Amino acid sequence: MVSTTAILILCALGAIVAQRVLEMRKLLKRVGDYPGWRFLISPIIPIPMPKVKWINPGWMWQMKEGYKPLAEHGQDVITMASLFPTEVSYYVADPVTIKEIFLSSQRFPKPLKFYDLINIFGPNVVGSDGATWKKHRKPSAPAFSERNNKLVWDESLKVILSLFETEAWRDKEEITIDHALDVTLPMALFVIGIAGFGRQINWSEDVRIPTGHTLSFKDALHIVSSNLRIKLLTPSWLMPWRAHWRLIDEAHKELRSYMTEMIVSRRTALVKEERYDLFSGLLDATELDNDDQRLTNDELLGNVFIFLLAGHETTAHTLAFALGLLAIFKDEQEKLYQSINSVIPNGRIPEYEEFGKLNQALAVIYETLRFYPPATGVGKISAEDTTLPTSEKGGNGSIFVPAGSLVAVGFTALHMNPKYWPEPEKFIPGRFLKDDWPRDAFYPFSGGVRSCLGRKFFESEAVALLSMIISRYKVEIKDDPAWAGITDLQLKREKVLAQTMSLTMAPKRVPLVFKRR
């Protein structure tokens, strides 16, 4: 027999749901019942659950669904309505709409509440907006110059050549690694370390733990970046309760200590080097006379952290995905090898001035980013009642956006939009070698005034590293029962290059075999 209490609870829940349904109907009516997804729980809330119709689209739906949600409704902008919370947001994969959003930063500011994860060491250039963002951006911008891009190129070559001389690689005809990130993460960290912060690390020192520390610099940074959500959501008094949580807490303390040591070392150096790296600009900004422009110590730490993290993680993940794609699509790997060999035959070391000639390598990087952009999308908030143009009705369409609405720009959906990318599911780097490739439908570096400061830094590093690897080694996928017998290359790509989310999109596990050419 059902108790009176249970009946009262069910009635109360029913009343809450009924009230929220009415509120949602009002919201949908206000936007003209614009078509789209309808869920019990908002797709914006990152819940680790499977896709359940009418309930939630599932964990990491933007990665898994791609363009499908928009294709289902036959248009490139849809609404996403939910009861918990009761809201109507927008999902956009229309270049016309996206361009307007990025060009209208005052009408569509960042929803800063979603950026608490990356402000964990202090406010920074990524987790800020408006005048505060300009304050953080100004001291960082000068470091991303041609002079520093050449430094990035040269240091990238030193890092990869030193890898080839390690005991694990030197004189070996075949090298097997369990996960591409085991190589690409330290490689990218060494480059951002020296080119961005003047911190020299090499392959032998990478595994050493300095006196006064309990974790290596690389391990501390990796543990922090992989567990930001746990650190943010778990109260400090709970952290000692589990071994993994204790390790996360330790890694945060260790990383803060490493960053503080970097700052103290540069500030107290007896010989003040004239450097043009990222670190110098940030340090100089802590000594400005203008209080409104001066960076505080917390802001300095916050920016050091975000540039260290984003500066190596994005490159490392992209290279891991690129190597996996080339290992699966061997014809494309051969095209890349022949193109590289025509520029730097017989294993010659490329000069920075030859960057433009290695266009096939950049095309591979771009096609990799089309499949696996660092961020699946970016969110904006409508600061006022406004309208956005769409490509519907021959470019004369529009959609009403009420003040306070979340507008989610879907990079993964846009990059799979067949209106702009013929055969979007296929790995075709050559599409980026055409003069008319759709630049307005490609946003791995975001767009507008908030586009990535370090784009050329990243491109210089990625092209140098990828070109040297492919010029000397054939790359293959290591045999594994998970994809044994799969001959369909698209299906194999989905299996081998399954994704997860760190700060940026990352491959779960890409086991590779490198065979000397």
Bind-site residues for heme: 452
Q: Are 16 and 22 in contact (CB under 8 A)?
A: no
Instruction: State the burial class of residue 6 (Cβ atoms within 10 Å of its Cβ: 0-12, 13-18, 19+).
Output: exposed
* Residues facing residue 81 across a β-bridge: 38, 88
Three-state DSSP at 339 gives helix
Sheet bearing 174-177, strands edge to edge? 174-177, 512-516, 473-477
- Alpha carbons 36 and 274: distance in angstroms, whole number: 56
- Alpha carbons 108 and 386: distance in angstroms, whole number: 10
Both tokens assigned to 151 = 């430094």
* Residues facing residue 408 across a β-bridge: 91, 379
Match 């006379």 to its residue by tokens.
289
Q: Nearest 5°: phi and psi at 148?
A: -75, -30
Both tokens assigned to 97 = 């709409």
Both tokens assigned to 397 = 């369409």
CA 384 from centroid of its chain's CA atoms: 29
CA 303 from centroid of its chain's CA atoms: 17
Question: With b meaning 16 or more CB within 10 Å and e meaning fewer, what string describes 455-485?
Answer: ebbbbbbbbbbbbbbbbbbbbbbeeeeeeee
Closest by alpha carbon to 323, among 177, 482, 425? 177
Could you list the residues known to form a binding site, using ranges: 452
- Alpha carbons 227 and 217: distance in angstroms, whole number: 16
Element (H, E) at 17: helix 4-30
Instruction: State the burial class of residue 211 (Cβ atoms within 10 Å of its Cβ: 0-12, 13-18, 19+).
Output: exposed
- Alpha carbons 274 and 375: distance in angstroms, whole number: 35
- Alpha carbons 82 and 91: distance in angstroms, whole number: 13
**What's the distance, Cα to Cα, between the start and end of the chain in Å?**
76
Element (H, E) at 77: strand 77-84
- Alpha carbons 354 and 366: distance in angstroms, whole number: 18
Query: How many C-beta atoms lie closer than 10 Å to residue 48's C-beta?
Result: 7
- Composition of the chain by helix, strand, coil, percent to 5: 55, 10, 35
Render 129-152 in DSSP notation, one character per residue. -HHHHHHHHHHHGGGSSHHHHHHH
Q: Are 372 and 467 in contact (CB under 8 A)?
A: no
